[in-house]
Amino acid sequence: MKKIAIFGSSGSIGVSTLDVVRHLKNRFQISALSVYSRIDLLEAQIAEFNPEVVCVVDKNAAEVLRSKTAPKTRVLSGEEGLKTIAAEGDYNIFVGAMVGFSGLSPTLEAIKRGKRIALANKETLVVAGELVKNLCLAYNAELLPVDSEHSAIFQCLIGEDVKEINRIILTASGGPFFKFSKEELNRVTVEQALKHPTWKMGAKITIDSATLMNKGLELIEASWLFDMKADRLDVVIHPQSIIHSMVEFRDRSVKAQLSVPDMKLPIQYALTYPERVHAQWVNNNYPAIGTLSFFEPDRQKFECLNIAYDALEAGGTAPCIVNAANEVAVEKFLRKEIGFTDIPKLIDKCLDKVENHKVADIDTIFETDKKTREFALALD
């Protein structure tokens, strides 16, 4: 029986991970959970899964939970609570399902303990890819991707020599505005942007998908996961979201991983790897799907994709700057302080003004993130 700690149990990945654990209750048990402030959902999760410890990042919400939770469940709070669970908790598998930069610190603590890291928090590799990979080697930690695209690539590469790879092709649904003109994008509302045509996700990731920044961040993540330079990473629009990614080899043959768009599949694979286990919730009815189509992404319309490529090629702290600026820009858009097409403009300004440094250590990452957020927040 393996113990799982889920960092971000109220989000879509966290909730889906708990669905997988319900299905495989004879294999796994939940030892730790964390949320930002959703104690209503966390209470129900505690009642069902009986974790030894939980963390609520919002300290006021944590106090409310402490007054309502049975004494056998330890309730921690704040960023320090997350770090304590990651560094001291009793678990075999760390599920990194937090959104954004905040997922980095607990992930690093889990890596230092040599745990299996089931990583859905792409920002961890985007901002600190080299450091993360080096730490995994040093502490013999196992890093397994949960994002459907990276899980697909990982599966396609099993049994293959990475030297034979010609290129990696990430698929993107195209989001809700794939067919919009540049003029129509200028009028996009928050409500429109939050309606993804395929996936049910949190607000931040949904907006990133609409701008294609989500795919840009995945490009940077793939570069670190699979040791690929920018010129060997491509993106194609695939609206059906059935092919999750492809690997083209030097003889031009291609391997693709296909499945219905359900995040429980890559989550389950990351938990049970190298074993494949029956998934009761999936029915692959390909005749019903019909046609699979592919399109070139329009980088003139979706500037965030170009920004991500530029940051990857620039290296250093450039990806960290892009990530921090994007997080601020998305929050400003969700608060209706800026327009949809202002998101890449804000990120570009940060890339231009915040100095790009060589990544010497983790302090360099945290300092760059702080400076970028301060600069981005001050922009109109």
253 near 75, Cβ under 8 Å? no
Task: Give residue 285's pLDDT.
Answer: 84
Element (H, E) at 99: none
Task: Give residue 153's pLDDT.
Answer: 98
Task: Give residue 282's pLDDT.
Answer: 77
The CA angle 194-173-93, to the nearest 5 degrees, is: 85
Task: Give residue 272's pLDDT.
Answer: 98
Q: Which long-range contacts (CB under 8 A, 24 or more apart) does 350-353 make?
A: 350/321, 350/322, 350/324, 350/325, 350/375, 350/376, 351/307, 351/310, 351/311, 351/318, 351/321, 351/322, 351/325
Task: Give residue 136's pLDDT.
Answer: 97
Both tokens of residue 373? 């957020």
Task: Give residue 199's pLDDT.
Answer: 66
AA identity, residue 275: E
Strand pairing report for 93-96 and 2-7: parallel
Buried b (16+ CB within 10 A) or exposed e, 174-207: bbbbbebeeeebeebeeeebeebeebebbebbbb
Task: Give residue 222's pLDDT.
Answer: 97
75: DSSP letter: E
List strands edge to edge, sheet with 93-96: 74-77, 53-56, 28-35, 2-7, 93-96, 116-119, 142-145
The rounded distance, in Å, linking the Cα atoms of 2 and 101 is 27
pTM above 0.95, yes or no: no
The rounded distance, in Å, linking the Cα atoms of 336 and 368 is 26
Q: Going from the N-terminus, what domains does the chain have, and what CATH number goes with each?
A: 2-145 (3.40.50.720), 162-263+297-314 (no CATH)
Task: Give residue 203's pLDDT.
Answer: 87
Q: Note down pLDDT in tens along the chain; length 380 residues.
A: 999 999 999 999 999 999 999 999 999 999 999 999 999 999 999 999 999 999 999 999 999 999 887 667 899 999 999 999 999 999 999 999 998 888 999 999 999 999 999 999 999 999 999 999 999 999 999 999 999 999 999 999 999 999 999 999 999 998 889 889 989 999 999 999 998 777 667 788 899 999 999 999 999 999 999 999 999 999 999 999 999 999 999 999 999 999 988 999 999 999 999 999 998 877 888 888 889 999 999 988 999 999 999 999 999 999 999 999 999 999 999 999 999 999 999 999 999 999 999 998 999 999 999 999 999 999 97
